[in-house]
Amino acid sequence: MTVTVRFAPSPTGKLHVGNVRAALWNWLFARKSGGKFVLRIDDTDRERSTWEYEAGIKRDLEWLGLGWDETVNQSDRFARYDAAREKLIEAGLLYPCYETAEELDRKRKLQRARGLPPVYDRAALKLTDKDKAALEAEGRKPHWRFRLSQTPVIWTDLIRGETTVDTASVSDPVLIREDGMYLYTLPSCVDDIDLAITHVMRGEDHVTNTGVQIEIFRALGGEPPQFAHHSLLVGADGQGLSKRLGSLSIEAMREDGLEPSSISSLLAKLGTADPVLPVRDLQTLAESFDFERVGRAPARFDMAELEALNAKILHETPFEDVAARLADMGADAALWNAVRGNITRIGDVAHWVAVIGGEIAPVIEDKGLTDEASALVPDALDETSWAALTKALQEKTGAKGKKLFMPLRLALTGEARGPEMAVMLPLIGAEKARARLRGVRA
C-alpha cells in the first residue's frame, strides 16, 4: 500500500494557519512514509470559487515548500459525482426532500421545545409519487439526503483511538442542494475512492462527518481510509481562531517578512508532545512526525512565539541561503554574519546596512570620551580592534563598564542596542568611525 493523503482547500478565501497546519501534517506524514501528497481543489461552489484564490493557495503552498504530487479540481469531476448519485438512488439510499429551510427550522424548534434532539424526522420517506408530483407542481425542487443506517459507526482513529458516531443521533445529511449543487460530503467520498486515499488527517470538528462518510464509502463500494482527527488551533488567549482574520493568512505572513520555515517549525509541533524548535529543513520535520506524539488538547497559536521562532531561524541561517535576497540591500556575508543575531525579519538588515554604510547623526553622550576615542582609532581595523580601543580608552580616561561602552556605541551607530561592536567597528571603517566619534554626520 502506498500511503496517499490529500489536502482539500476550497478556493473561496486565503489559506490561514489553521488549514495550513492540516496541509503540513498531511505532507509530513506522506514524506515520512514515502507516499503521495494530493492537492484537491474543492471548487464545486461555482459562485464563490475563483481562479485567483486557487492561484493564491498554490502560491502559498509552494512558498512553504509543500509541493504536491498530483492535483485534482472537483469542478472537472461532476460526471463521477452524477454516477455516484445514481448508484445511491438505485440503492434506495439517496432520497428527495421538499421541505423549505423555514419549514426545517420550525421542525427543529418544535423538537427542542419537546426536549428532543433536532434530528431530521425522515418525513420525506413517506411521500408518495403523487405527493412528490404535487410538490413539484408548486414549484418546489428537492434536496437529496443520504439515508443513514441509524447504527453506531466505529473506527480506530490514529489520534483519538477507538471512536464511535451513532448515526441514529445524526440527521440524514443533505448531499445535493435544491439547485443541484453537490455539497462537500459526496464529492469528497467519491474522490477519496478514485484517488486511492489511504489516510485522511483533519480537524476534530469533522468527527461526526467521518461517521457519515464511512457509511457513504461503503454504500459506494469503497474502503474507508484511515482517519486521524487532530485538535483545533486556538489563540494565545484560548479563544478560537477565525480564518477571516487577515493577519493569520499565509499571504499576510509572507508579506510581513516571516520565514516559511518558522511557520512550518511552529505548526508542525503545535498540539504534540515535542518541543518547538527552529528547523529549516522540512524533511527533518517529516522524519520526526509521529501520531503517538499528538495530543488531544487544543493547540495554542501565539504570534509572539512565531516571531521569536522567526528570529531564531534567521540567527542560524547561513549567508548562502539568503544571498539572493540580501543582494538588493547591499549586504555581503560579513555584514549578514554581523547582524543576523539582532534581527527578527530579513528586511531588518536594510536598517543595519544604512547604519554601517550610510550617513547617521551620532548621539554624543560624553564628548570628552568620544573625542579621545576618535584619536585612538587605528587605520586598519579588524575584530580585535574594538577590544584594543576600549582597553586603551579605559587606561587613558578611567571610564569602564556602561559608562565606557554605551557612549561609544551611541556615537558609532546612533543606537543603544545592536550587534557586537567588535564586528561592527571594522565594517564601519576607520574614517567613518573617527568622524562619528567626533559627532560629525558620517
Segments making up each domain of the chain, as ranges: 4-73+182-233, 80-176, 235-315, 319-357, 367-437
pLDDT at 46: 85
Query: What is the distance, to the nearest Å, from the Cα of residue 405 to the centroid of all Cα atoms in its chain?
Result: 43
- Tell me the pLDDT of the chain averaged across its residues: 95
Q: 3.30.2130.30, 3.40.605.10, 1.10.10.350, 3.20.20.70: which CATH number matches 367-437?
A: 1.10.10.350
Q: What confidence category does residue 336 fall into, taking pLDDT thresholds of 50, 70 and 90? A: very high
CA–CA gap between residue 435 and residue 125 (Å, rounded): 91
Task: Say if residue 245's pLDDT is above 80.
Answer: no
Please state which CATH class domain 4-73+182-233 belongs to. Answer: alpha beta
Segment 10-34 shows an average pLDDT of 95
Other CB atoms within 10 A of residue 405 CB: 16
pLDDT at 41: 97
Segment 351-361 shows an average pLDDT of 95
pLDDT at 239: 80
For 235-315, CATH gives 1.10.1160.10
Q: What is the pLDDT of residues 116-125, one digit of tens each?
A: 999 999 999 9
CA–CA gap between residue 422 and residue 250 (Å, rounded): 38
pLDDT at 47: 87
Task: Say if residue 58's pLDDT is above 60.
Answer: yes
Other CB atoms within 10 A of residue 162 CB: 8
Segment 379-403 shows an average pLDDT of 95
Residue 335: partners with Cβ closer than 8 Å, 6 or more residues away: 349, 352, 353, 356, 427
The domain made up of 80-176 has a fold known as Glutamyl-tRNA Synthetase; domain 3 (3.90.800)
CA distance readout (Å), 353 to 55, 104, 315, 335, 362: 35, 66, 17, 8, 16
Q: What is the pLDDT of residues 177-192, one digit of tens each?
A: 999 999 999 999 999 9
Q: Cell digits for 25?
A: 501534517
Cα torsion 400, 405, 406, 412 to 10°: value is: 150
pLDDT at 237: 83
Phi, psi of 240 (to 5 degrees): -65, 150
Q: What is the pLDDT of residues 60-96, one digit of tens each?
A: 999 999 999 999 999 999 999 999 999 999 999 999 9
Q: What is the DSSP letter of 68?
A: -
